[in-house]
Amino acid sequence: MATYQDQQDRQDDDSGSEASSVLHNGSVISTVPDRHGFLGGSQYTPEPKTTVPASVILRREQKWLSMLSTWEKFMTRHYKKVRERCRKGIPASVRPRAWLYLCGGQLVLQQRSDLFAQLATQNGDPRWIDDIRKDLHRQFPYHEMFVDQDGHGQQDLFTVLKAYSILNASVGYCQAQAPIAAFLLMHMPAEQAFWCLVSICDKYLAGYYSQGMETLQVDGDILFGLLKKVSPSVYKHLKIEPILYMTEWFLCVFTRTLPWDTLLRVWDMFLCEGVKVVFKVALVLLKFSLSRPGVLKKCPSMYETLEVLRNPPHSIMEEEFVIHQIHRLNLTEEDFEYEHQRQLTKRRANQENVRRNQR
């Protein structure tokens, strides 16, 4: 079954046709999708992106195809080169395959080639199935893959989420998995999207979707600790539990936050470098949402501060700005490790104090 990426050439052929609009579920949407497949909504971007010269794209495609043909060698011996090319942006034509290789999904797919088909035929736990069905129509409803309730997009999304809930029954289904799965399905067939989702949930974001979300809470505290180094003024102002502003960013890996071009570039790096990229993007949003002139004075309470963080200005979410600021962050691997250990020690001490008080 064709993915959205497979439809790009056909869309380009029709790009000269005049756009029109229709009423859909009470909202006006275009009948001509943008370059990412959106017909409307906040992600709709009708204006063409400033393109990289065709010769540069071709050269990058050739380099990626060469890497993918000897992937294990490159990742083992030349990881820094892979990371550098991910940071420049993966060419759209090879992005789906590159993502599958980067996250390890291709290897698992080869090792367990029949498993997805088997899981797809199983019924699943009724409590998860009901929750999944309720969430299907909420995932990018203005994207051409998901606009039709009976279309293949929503059907594939249901199958992928159900399969994961069966495979990892201890986690089951979490609402935040749905936009990630939908995002992956825009770029690859259901089986490949499934194995990418498995890798993201069980490796990249391990523990995030478990009951209690303790891992997410720890990472929220780590984020706040790193903020002190990145932006002391914002750190001093932000006396709010991190879980209140970073949960959707981390659980959904910004699929509900960033403009699409920015999101693609962030995911190129995220699947190569891991969750540290999510931290860095969050730090950029925190710093530049609240450090703009006069903003902190307009945020005397938690309410105003959260409103700003829930609606970052578009200018600080633009692709080139975000990528540039990520690379400018003065954070080392040692900074991440130090803050991680500090927060774990602090949490253990707090838990010990609670136990003592309960005796």
Q: Could you report the per-residue pLDDT of 219-265, keeping only the tens digit for each?
A: 999 999 999 999 999 999 998 999 999 999 999 999 999 999 999 99
Query: How far is residue 15 from each of residues 34, 46, 217, measured CA to CA in Å?
Result: 9, 11, 46
Which pLDDT does position 178 carry in this prediction?
98
* 53/160 Cα distance (integer angstroms): 37
Which pLDDT does position 16 carry in this prediction?
43
* 79/277 Cα distance (integer angstroms): 16
Higher pLDDT, 213 or 14: 213
For residue 309, is pLDDT > 50? yes
Mean pLDDT across the stretch 128-157?
95
Which pLDDT does position 30 carry in this prediction?
65
Asked if 136 and 214 count as a contact pair (C-beta separation under 8 A), the reply is no
Residues 6+ apart with CB under 8 A from 57: 51, 91
* 299/303 Cα distance (integer angstroms): 8
C-alpha neighbours within 13 Å on the C-beta side of residue 35? 12
Residue among 113, 194, 205 at smallest CA distance from 157: 194
Q: Which pTM was predicted?
A: 0.90
Which pLDDT does position 15 carry in this prediction?
44
Mean pLDDT of the chain: 91
Mean pLDDT across the stretch 304-323?
96
Which pLDDT does position 358 carry in this prediction?
79
Which pLDDT does position 174 carry in this prediction?
96
pLDDT digits (tens, 9 = 90+) for 149-158: 889 999 999 9
**Percentage of the chain surpassing pLDDT 90?**
79
* 145/204 Cα distance (integer angstroms): 26
Lowest mean pLDDT among 53-57, 75-79, 87-91, 337-341: 53-57
Which pLDDT does position 5 carry in this prediction?
52
For residue 177, is pLDDT > 50? yes
Mean pLDDT across the stretch 295-321?
95
Which pLDDT does position 44 carry in this prediction?
86
DSSP symbols for 244-264? HHHHHHHHTTTTTTS-HHHHH
**Stated length of the chain:** 359
Higher pLDDT, 239 or 164: 164
Farthest CA pair distance, the chain: 74
* 71/262 Cα distance (integer angstroms): 26
> What does the block give as tokens for 92?
């759209």
pLDDT digits (tens, 9 = 90+) for 8-66: 444 444 444 444 655 455 555 667 888 899 988 888 887 777 678 889 999 999 999 99
pLDDT digits (tens, 9 = 90+) for 93-119: 999 999 999 999 999 999 999 999 999
